[in-house]
Structure 1
Amino acid sequence: MEAEIAGLVAAGASAIVGAMATDGWQVVKQRLARLFSRSQPQAYNAVLVDFEETRRDLLNAPTHERVRIASIHEGEWRARIRMLLVADQDAVREFRKVLEEIDSVSVGISADGATFSANAYDNGRVYQQGSGIQYNG
């Protein structure tokens, strides 16, 4: 179980911090806050504030600092995820579900620029645009 938790902690911190810099973050942030505050429901709003502070740091970071800032926050969230999963074995299953949801909505930051991904269902359309030169081929 320890190896499983270690893998979830690493993947979870990276996924959460990566998702914070995307529009898809709004879809999963409340679910994550509920999960992190399940043993102390009164902590729900404090978790949301922590998420927003991390997100603000990521979005306001200069481009050349984003990877470093993301790494710092991943470390902070790894510690919190580990405490959650070790203290509450039932949280492991729920955390996996949230990670799957993050994977389906996220767009992440990579070291050499932005990486875009999107899913559209049932005749949905997706439009994405970054900055710089656009090539329509």
Structure 2
Amino acid sequence: MEAEMVELARAAGAAVITVMATDAWERTRDGVVALWRRVSPSRADSVAGELEATREDLLTARENGDDLAEQELREEWAGRLRRLLRDQPEVAAELRRILAETAPEPQEAGAGTVHLQAEVSGSGRVYQAGRDQHITER
């Protein structure tokens, strides 16, 4: 199997798991199930159930801070997608399309995590913002 297909399967497995805990989950699940329905109709319903079970496992792992379980889920789906690509290499373009449509939006350039903390006493004021802030006082 070409290294490109292995990398695609790894990226797809990671993307599927990452998207499971986002608003894009249903669209991603539907795309993956539709892919399976096209190449292996008898397995499509089973794959849909396995995706839902994996999502439950992922949410539990995240709730418990179990990074190892989350990594195992990524590897499990990377393996499933690698085997699908091995048996049906013509679905690579469709899998790439699904990934492109469901990938989380990239953060704006320069965006990052901001932690703000302030203490005020007396009649002091605090103005905090993670981005632009305009204050007009008279």
Tell whether the structures are fold-level matches, with TM greater than 0.5. yes
Contact 1:37 1:47 in 2 (8 A): no
- Between Structure 1 and Structure 2, the one with more strand by share is 1
Q: Does 1:11 align with 2:11?
A: yes
What is the CA-CA distance between 1:71 and the residue it aligns to?
0.6
State the partner residue of 2:32: 32
CA distance 1:70–1:117, shift in 2 (3 Å)? farther
State the partner residue of 1:22: 22
- Measure the CA separation in 2 of the matches of 1:89 and 1:64: 36
- Measure the CA separation in 1 of the matches of 2:99 and 2:20: 13
- Measure the CA separation in 2 of the matches of 1:40 and 1:8: 19
What's the C-alpha RMSD, in Å, of the aligned pairs?
A: 2.5
Give the counterpart letter for 2:17 in structure 1: V
- Measure the CA separation in 1 of the matches of 2:107 and 2:32: 21
Give the counterpart letter for 1:71 in structure 2: Q
- Measure the CA separation in 1 of the matches of 2:42 and 2:9: 24
Structure 1 residue runs of 5 or longer lacking an equivalent are: 108-115, 119-132
Give the counterpart letter for 1:16 in structure 2: V
- Measure the CA separation in 1 of the matches of 2:74 and 2:28: 17
Structure 2 residue runs of 5 or longer lacking an equivalent are: 109-115, 118-127, 131-138
State the partner residue of 1:130: none
Structure 2 SS opposite 1:64:
coil
Q: Does 1:60 align with 2:44?
A: no
State the partner residue of 1:101: 101
- Measure the CA separation in 1 of the matches of 2:31 and 2:97: 10
State the partner residue of 2:78: 78
What is the CA-CA distance between 1:136 and the residue it aligns to?
4.2
CA distance 1:23–1:78, shift in 2 (3 Å)? same
What is the CA-CA distance between 1:39 and the residue it aligns to?
2.6
What is the CA-CA distance between 1:28 and the residue it aligns to?
1.8
Contact 1:13 1:77 in 2 (8 A): yes
TM-score, normalised by the number of residues in structure 1: 0.71
What is the CA-CA distance between 1:117 and the residue it aligns to?
5.3
TM-score, normalised by the number of residues in structure 2: 0.71
- Measure the CA separation in 2 of the matches of 1:37 and 1:71: 26
Contact 1:85 1:91 in 2 (8 A): yes
Report percent identity of matched pairs.
31
Contact 2:33 2:47 in 1 (8 A): yes
